[in-house]
Amino acid sequence: MENNKELFEHYKFEADKGQEPLRVDKFLINFIENASRSKIQQSTKEGYIHVNGNPVKSNYKVKAGDVVTVEYKNPPREHELIPQDIPINIMYEDDDILIVNKDAGMVVHPGFGNWEGTLVNALAFHFKNLPNMGDDSRPGLVHRIDKNTSGILVIAKNEKSMTIMGDKFANRDLNRRYLALVWGDVIEDEGTITGHIGRSLKNRKIMDVFPDGEFGKHAITHWKVVERFGYTTLVECTLETGRTHQIRAHFKFIGHPLFNDEEYGGDRILKGTTFTKYKQFVQNCFKICPRQALHAKSLEFEHPTTKKEMKFDSELPEDFTSLLEKWKTYATHQN
């Protein structure tokens, strides 16, 4: 085992105060996207998994308050950022920023066991010397969206822009709007969902809402109805905070999970009839849009250098538009 000065910290997680004792390999697989248990166990054998600063074996049980870090020798080959010639849908570019319309299914940045094929791999190929703010695996990134969420992302092209844009996202000094298709006929025309969001105490891969604030971080989502289809509703969401899976967790909390959101229970028929024809219709909808129906639609902010007000609006991807067309047709035939 090398001394700690020859290692660099790649992941860091602090166990919530409600954490029940759990093997460290099982704990990490719930936090690190696309990780495999065998790779995590191999990392523990090689001394790269630490708890409270000390290397542990894979059977170590993580307890409330433990700080778990994954630290590697610098730089192991598989963790080097590999530039890849992957197409990027660039909506806007100047000397300071890029606006990208990300496809659903593309992971934003490399991670444990998932070091290639990401947006950052593509950025590294198409753009040189993007700033990284201390993390070589995430050059240019000032925020992220989920793998299966499509839509707008801002990329910083220099350190000044990264600092300014990072502050804007941290302070919510911008306007982000999302479109989501949710299960059910939402009663009100608009509203606000408030509730702390934190890791689920039962399933660490997802987030839960803790309305009493006993866990998690304060989160606010504003929404309004765009169109109703009877058994589903298209809503526009504006985020006052930016928590992981915020829209997905908040709408599950109020009983309206996102359509085909596998992790939050939206991938089964939650509203509608028992007719076989309807069940087949919904299954066809799942095939058309094989992911959560969520798109980062628009973004408004003050340019980090020119101070000009910038407004960007992205087109819905084909899977989302086809899904909406099917629901519109279905709803029309029911009236």
Average pLDDT (83-89) is: 92
pLDDT of residue 139: 83
- Torsion-angle region of 74 (φ positive above 0: left; ψ -120 to 50: alpha; else: beta): beta
Q: How confident is the model at residue 114 (pLDDT cuts 50, 70, 90)?
A: low
**Tally of CA atoms within 13 A in the half-sphere of 327 that contains its CB:** 28
Buried b (16+ CB within 10 A) or exposed e, 208-245: bbbeeeebbeebbbebebeeebebbbbbbbebeeebbb
Position 181 confidence tier, pLDDT thresholds 50, 70, 90 = very high
Least confident of 110-119, 147-156, 227-236: 110-119
At residue 7 the predicted structure's pLDDT band, cuts being 50, 70 and 90, is very low
DSSP code for 78:
G
CA–CA dist 302, 308 (Å, integer) = 6
Residue 198: phi, psi to the nearest 5?
-150, 175
Distance CA 122, CA 185 (A): 40
67 vs 205, which has greater pLDDT? Answer: 67
User: What is residue 5's predicted lDDT score, i.e. its pLDDT?
Assistant: 39
Report cis status (omega within 30 of 0) of the bond before 75. yes
Q: Find out whether 180 and 252 touch, Cβ atoms under 8 Å.
A: no
Find the mean pLDDT for residues 21-25.
89
DSSP characters over 218-271: --EEEEEEEEE-SSEEEEEEEESS--TTHHHHHHHHTT-PBTT-GGGT-SS--S
Distance CA 201, CA 224 (A): 30
- Residue 43 pLDDT grade (very low, low, confident, very high; cuts 50, 70, 90): confident
Confidence of residue 33 (pLDDT cuts 50, 70, 90): low
Task: Answer whether residue 56 shows pLDDT above 80.
Answer: yes
Any residues with CB less than 8 A from the CB of 258 and at least 6 apart, and which?
180, 181, 182, 183, 247, 248, 251, 252, 264, 266, 292, 293, 294
| pLDDT at residue 72 in the model | 65
Both tokens of residue 38?
Answer: 């065998």
146 is catalytic: yes
3-state secondary structure of 90: strand
Q: What is the pLDDT of residue 137?
A: 65
Q: How confident is the model at residue 136 (pLDDT cuts 50, 70, 90)?
A: low
- Judge whether residue 201 has pLDDT over 80: no
Asked whether the beta carbons of 184 and 202 are under 8 A apart, the reply is no
Residue 4 is classified by DSSP as G
Residue with tokens 């969206």: 145
Residue 11 has pLDDT above 70, yes or no: yes
Question: What average pLDDT does the segment 179-189 reach?
Answer: 97
Return the pLDDT at 132. Answer: 73
* CATH architecture for the domain at 4-74: Roll (3.10)
Tokens 């890849």, residue located: 84
CATH number of this structure's domain 176-334:
3.30.2350.10
Q: What is the pLDDT of residues 209-256, one digit of tens each?
A: 998 888 888 999 999 999 999 999 999 999 998 898 999 999 999 999
In angstroms, the CA 286 to CA 264 distance is 15
The pLDDT, as a whole number, for residue 71 is 75
Is 82-171's fold the same as 176-334's? yes
Contact, 36 vs 103, CB < 8 A? no
Q: Return the bridge partners of 31, or none.
A: none
Using pLDDT thresholds of 50, 70 and 90, give the confidence band for residue 188. Answer: very high
Question: CB atoms < 10 A from the CB of 9, how many?
Answer: 12
From 29-33, 67-71, 106-110, 290-294, the region with the lowest mean pLDDT: 29-33
Which residue in the list 25, 94, 135, 146 is annotated as catalytic? 146
pLDDT at 17 over 70: yes
With bands split at pLDDT 50, 70 and 90, how would you rate the model's confidence at 324? Answer: very high
CATH superfamily ID and name for 82-171:
Pseudouridine synthase (3.30.2350.10)
Q: What is the pLDDT of residue 214?
A: 80
Contacts of residues 214-219 at CB distance under 8 Å and 24 or more positions apart, as own/partner, are 214/18, 215/16, 215/17, 215/18, 216/243, 217/241, 217/243, 219/194, 219/195, 219/243, 219/246, 219/249, 219/250
Residue spans of the domains in the chain: they are 4-74, 82-171, 176-334
The CA R_g of the chain, rounded to the nearest whole Å, is 21
When pLDDT is cut at 50, 70 and 90, the band that residue 1 belongs to is: very low
* Minimum mean pLDDT range among 53-57, 101-105, 106-110, 164-168: 106-110
